[in-house]
Amino acid sequence: VGSLVVAGAQTDACITSTLHGAVARGYGAVLVSDAHTTEDLSEWGGTDPASVISHANLMWSLHAVEGR
């Protein structure tokens, strides 16, 4: 395995942790921009899901991470 394709739930937790963990361990990592989501915590002062997802997509689109 040289790189990971990441999709799933909880963009601000599981997805971000998986991406950072992959990069820290020397793997390439690609975030599928329309295949991750997160819980709406805006009622309790959290950021709305669309903004969390957009931020993750922007940040990971700027990373060119080569695999092993």
Domain extents in the chain? 3-61
3-state secondary structure at position 47: coil
pTM of the full structure: 0.85
Instruction: Please list the rounded mean pLDDT of every run of 10 residues in the chain (68 residues).
Output: 92 95 92 96 96 96 68
3-state secondary structure at position 1: coil
Question: Any idea what DSSP says for residue 62?
Answer: T
- The pLDDT of residue 1 is 81
Residue 8: phi, psi to the nearest 5?
150, -155
- The pLDDT of residue 68 is 56
Element (H, E) at 14: none
